[in-house]
Structure 1
Amino acid sequence: MADHLTISTATETREQAVALAQSAVQARLAAGAQIIGPVASVFWHDGECGTGEEYQLLLTTSTARYAQLEALLVEQHPWTNPEVRATPIVTGAATYLDWVDRSTAD
């Protein structure tokens, strides 16, 4: 299993994404975050295909902190069923990954 992850979620507004990012980084559950957007989204919601604009939030964390980060995102997210998914970081610059570990240490 990978030791580091990129976590993805999306919000309706930039302000919501910034608030989630700040909470996660201040709690040391993520080393850093990037907010991308707006991005176009196409999705199923309430039995219908919908479209809209969202702000994608990408967070970098250690695998050890994932469960706590997921819980924070789900609890603080404005949506009742937010997308929260993790992608393993297979490799990366050693100094960067070391920074992730130091930044997310208890």
Structure 2
Amino acid sequence: MSKYGIVLTTFENEKQAEPVINEIIKNKLAACIQEIKIKSHYIWKDELCHDDEILVLIKTRKEVYPELEKKLLELHPYETPEILMVDAEKGSKAYLAWIDEQTGKG
């Protein structure tokens, strides 16, 4: 079982994402966070939505996930934010060591 993962969440735009990203990095809950522009399609409160969003990929250790999830729920502006942990089954030793170092385990 992998001890690393990628947490996915979304925001309306980069401006909305930036303060949350900064807090996560400052608190050593992730080694790296990337933003990707996407189009999301879903139903929310019985309304069909088609929204431009920013998908945020948070590289971290599973051990810090509970604290990361708590921080996201505390800071995220969405009523019900997407917070999904995806296993990172494999990775280069150097990169995984860097994740350890950046998330307080190095």
RMSD, aligned α-carbons: 1.0
Separation in 1, partners of 2:27, 2:16: 17
Runs (4+) of structure 1 exceeding 3 A deviation are: none
TM-fit CA distance, 1:48: 2.2
Aligned equivalent of 2:20 = 20
Gaps of 5+ in 2: none
1:95 is paired with a residue whose SS is helix
Aligned equivalent of 1:11 = 11
The residue type paired with residue 52 of structure 2 is: E
Separation in 1, partners of 2:17, 2:57: 9
Aligned equivalent of 1:95 = 94
The residue type paired with residue 55 of structure 1 is: I
- Partner deviation per Cα, 1:16-43 (whole Å, 9 max, x = no partner): 1122111101100011100111x11101
Aligned equivalent of 1:45 = 44
Gaps of 5+ in 1: none
Separation in 2, partners of 1:93, 1:73: 27
Q: In the alignment, does 2:65 pair up with 1:66? A: yes
- Partner deviation per Cα, 1:53-82 (whole Å, 9 max, x = no partner): 001111101011000001101110001110
The residue type paired with residue 97 of structure 2 is: D
Separation in 1, partners of 2:19, 2:58: 13
The residue type paired with residue 58 of structure 1 is: L
Separation in 2, partners of 1:13, 1:23: 17
Separation in 1, partners of 2:49, 2:17: 21
1:36 is paired with a residue whose SS is strand
The residue type paired with residue 13 of structure 2 is: T
Separation in 2, partners of 1:54, 1:74: 18
The residue type paired with residue 88 of structure 1 is: D
Separation in 2, partners of 1:34, 1:15: 14
**TM-score, normalising length from structure 2?**
0.94
